[in-house]
């Protein structure tokens, strides 16, 4: 009887130890994850995350990928109890607003010391590691076949000859499109900007969900003209598609791809290592192989063209985004 009890006790002890070991393993494994929200493309994050994991020392959980608007809506809804640790890839207009509202954990990274001040928050609340600019995509083959002039400016896009030949992202779901709309408002003034968009809408065939879709559709010859962003256009040109990029003569807007550590971050050391890597030469060189322009001087990137950039008021754009989008949807939703 004593042997049975002894065996039972030993077995119970072993099972108990095994259960606690399993629980510890699961909880430890779960804890060793840096949770990220991003609007970066899936094919980019599938390459970026493994590279960054080598530096931060743990797995980076980034899926699902959000549109710019979805990401910011989620952050505002979760405030102050964020389910993510870091925003890695989001609009700078949102970074500026988030900094004002106290969403972020400050971190003044030494790796960013020699990067220009305009690309980072003075208190270390956000850092801009690369930037992109809005541009117009033109299918050189289709536009010639249709005997249409190549547009040179934003104003040219309202030419009635382009009716049904222009595709543009929906500013309600695409950060790329919103930056373009905000640029138009700032170039022409808000009242004239709405007049311009009314005229432009008459030429638009469809509004897409993503900012890259118009470039793809134009590259494939579905439309003659698309409003998109630089790399989506120039990248497809490099692949051999009959597509060229046009920088409007009035100038264009740009946005900094930003990173920020959310308050309450559960993996602060790992988050800081990610910020360091994104500003360091190694991280900037890696990002430069994917993106238009990086913010560290002297590092090569995908787009060689230096665009005519307007003095873009990102804070105004961010603060007025909801109002502008509500008006835009009421007027133009197809």
* pTM of the predicted model as reported, rounded to 2 decimal places: 0.70
Check whether 49 has a pLDDT greater than 90: yes
Q: At what angle do helices 175-188 and 190-201 cross, to 10 degrees?
A: 120
Q: What is the pLDDT of residue 172?
A: 78
Would you place residue 285 in the very low, low, confident or very high pLDDT band (cuts 50, 70, 90)? very high
- Residue listed under structure tokens 């249709």: 146
Helical segments of the chain, H only: 2-31, 42-56, 68-78, 92-101, 140-145, 175-188, 190-201, 213-219, 230-238, 268-279, 281-288, 314-332
Per-residue pLDDT tens over the stretch 179-234: 899 999 999 999 999 999 999 999 999 999 888 999 999 999 999 999 999 989 99
What residue ranges define each of the domains in the chain, with the CATH number in brackets?
29-131+256-294 (3.40.190.10), 132-253+311-332 (3.40.190.10)
At residue 128, φ and ψ (nearest 5 deg) are: -105, 110
- Provide the mean pLDDT of the chain: 89
Q: Which helix (H) or strand (E) holds 166?
A: strand 166-169
């Amino acid at each position: 009887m004593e042997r049975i009890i002894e065996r039972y006790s030993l077995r119970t002890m072993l099972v108990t130890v095994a259960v606690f070991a399993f629980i510890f393993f699961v909880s430890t494994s779960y804890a060793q994850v840096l949770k990220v929200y991003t609007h970066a493309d899936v094919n980019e994050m599938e390459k970026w995350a493994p590279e960054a994991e080598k530096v931060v020392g743990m797995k980076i959980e980034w899926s699902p990928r959000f549109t710019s608007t979805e990401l910011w809506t989620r952050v505002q809804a979760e405030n102050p109890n964020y389910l993510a640790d870091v925003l890695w890839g989001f609009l700078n207009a949102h970074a500026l607003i988030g900094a004002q509202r106290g969403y972020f954990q400050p971190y003044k990274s030494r790796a960013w010391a020699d990067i220009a001040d305009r690309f980072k928050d003075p208190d270390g609340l956000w850092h801009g590691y690369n930037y992109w600019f809005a541009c117009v995509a033109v299918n050189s083959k289709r536009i010639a076949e249709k005997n249409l002039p190549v547009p040179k400016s934003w104003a040219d896009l309202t030419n009635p000859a382009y009716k049904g030949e222009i595709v543009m992202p929906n500013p309600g779901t695409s950060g790329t499109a919103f930056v373009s709309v905000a640029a138009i408002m700032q170039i022409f003034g808000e009242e004239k900007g709405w007049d311009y968009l009314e005229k432009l809408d008459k030429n638009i065939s469809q509004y897409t969900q993503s900012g890259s879709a118009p470039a793809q559709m134009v590259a494939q010859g579905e439309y003659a003209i698309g409003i998109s962003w630089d790399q989506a256009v120039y990248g497809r040109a490099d692949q051999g598609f009959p597509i060229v990029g046009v920088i409007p003569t009035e100038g264009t807007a740009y946005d900094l791809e930003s990173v920020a550590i959310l308050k309450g971050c559960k993996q602060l050391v790992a988050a800081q290592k990610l910020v360091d890597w994104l500003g360091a030469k190694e991280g900037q060189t890696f990002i430069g192989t994917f993106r238009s322009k990086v913010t560290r001087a002297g590092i090569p990137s995908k787009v060689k063209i230096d665009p005519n950039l307007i003095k873009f008021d990102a804070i105004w754009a961010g603060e007025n985004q909801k109002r502008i989008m509500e008006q835009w949807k009421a007027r133009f939703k197809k």
